[in-house]
Amino acid sequence: MFGLVLLLGLAGCNLTVGKLQLSATDTAMDSGTDEQDTGTGIVWPDAGLGGSHSFFVIGDTRSDQVVFETNLRSMYAVDPGARACFNVGDITAAGKVAEWDAHHLALSTVAPDDSVPFDVGGIVRQSRFRTDVSEWGDYIRYFGVVGNHDVIDGDWYENWNDYLPGQSGLGRNSKSDGIYFAQVLGSALFVVLDSQHTSEEQTEWLRNTLAGAGSHGIVWKLVFFHHPVYPCNSKFPFHAGLAWVEIFEEYGVDIVFNGHSHTYERTCPMIGGVCAAGGVTYINSSGGGAMTRAVIPDKQGTVSFGDRTDEYDCAQILEGYKGYWYHFCHFSYDNCALSMSCFAHNSAFVSKVPIPFDTTSWGQLTRSSRSPIASK
CATH number of the domain to which 166 belongs: 3.60.21.10
Q: Evaluate whether residue 13 is within a structural domain.
A: no
Instruction: Give 80: exposed, middle or buried? Use CB within 10 Å, 0-12, 13-18, 19+.
Output: middle
Q: What is the pLDDT along the chain (376 residues), one digit of tens a residue?
A: 333 333 333 334 443 322 222 233 332 223 334 544 444 457 676 555 557 999 999 999 998 888 999 999 999 999 999 999 999 999 999 999 999 999 999 999 888 888 878 888 888 888 999 999 999 999 999 999 999 999 999 999 999 999 999 999 999 999 999 999 999 999 999 999 999 999 999 999 999 999 988 788 899 999 999 999 999 999 999 999 999 999 999 999 999 999 999 999 999 999 999 999 999 999 999 999 999 999 999 999 999 999 999 999 999 999 999 999 999 999 999 988 999 999 998 655 555 678 899 999 998 544 444 444 444 3
Instruction: Give 207: exposed, middle or buried? Use CB within 10 Å, 0-12, 13-18, 19+.
Output: middle
Domain, as residue range, for 356: 35-375
Measured CA to CA, the distance from residue 196 to residue 200 in angstroms comes to 13
Measured CA to CA, the distance from residue 140 to residue 136 in angstroms comes to 9
pTM of the shown model: 0.88
Domains of the chain: total: 1
Q: Evaluate whether residue 3 is within a structural domain.
A: no
Q: Evaluate whether residue 25 is within a structural domain.
A: no
| Residue 361 contacts residue 373 (beta carbons within 8 Å) | yes
What is the amino acid identity at position 108? Answer: S
Measured CA to CA, the distance from residue 288 to residue 326 in angstroms comes to 6
Q: Evaluate whether residue 251 is within a structural domain.
A: yes
